[in-house]
Amino acid sequence: MTVNARLSGGCQCGAVRYTVSEFGRSSLCHCRMCQKALGGPFAVLVTAKDLEYTRGNPTYFQSSNKVRRGFCKDCGSPLTFEFEGWQPDITVTSLDDPTVAPPIIQLGTESRLPWCEGLFDLPSDQGNPDGQGPISYQHPDHDTTHWPSDKTEDGKYA
Ligand SMILES: [Zn+2]
């Protein structure tokens, strides 16, 4: 899928930022390696045909003889899945707008956790209606010119 403008994304702390303008297939992977690498029940990855880093670069872990995985060395956010000889995949949830690349196929289903099936039937908590939640230090979901000096006095990022 080609998108009209370059889309941005990055890690939680903002040390690594990237843009992409064309996506390949978006997939949901349940394999044990993706579970470990993402720290979640599955990974959602999309092929990024023209990935460019606009701030910093990932650090890599060679997770198999064919695959290395990129992450931010400062905050640990998982960013890429790179199969040798192929275009890299990025983690869909590291995009500033993760809704743009919904998965169209499941992979690694032999490792799918049995409790995944009923996830959306669980009761839900409505969060902090009084607005007394913690103050986020996470980089905002858009590019910043001066980082981390764009942080405001209350500790948030502009
Ligand atoms: Zn980071």
Q: Which domains does the chain have, with CATH numbers?
A: 2-107 (2.170.150.70)
7 pLDDT above the threshold of 90: yes
Q: What is the pLDDT of residue 6?
A: 85
What is the 77 CA–ligand 1 centroid distance (Å)? 6
User: What one-letter code names the amino acid at 158?
Assistant: A
Q: What is the pTM of this model?
A: 0.88
- Which of 16-30, 34-48, 60-74, 134-148 is predicted least confidently? 134-148
Which tens digit of pLDDT belongs to each residue from 91-109? 999 999 999 999 999 999 9
What is the 96 CA–ligand 1 centroid distance (Å)? 14
Nearby residues of 27 by Cβ (< 8 Å), 6 or more positions away: 44, 45, 46, 103, 104, 105, 106, 107
Which tens digit of pLDDT belongs to each residue from 95-144? 999 999 999 999 999 999 999 999 999 999 877 767 677 888 899 999 98
Q: Which of 42, 84, 46, 43 is nearest to 63 (CA)?
A: 84
What is the 94 CA–ligand 1 centroid distance (Å)? 11
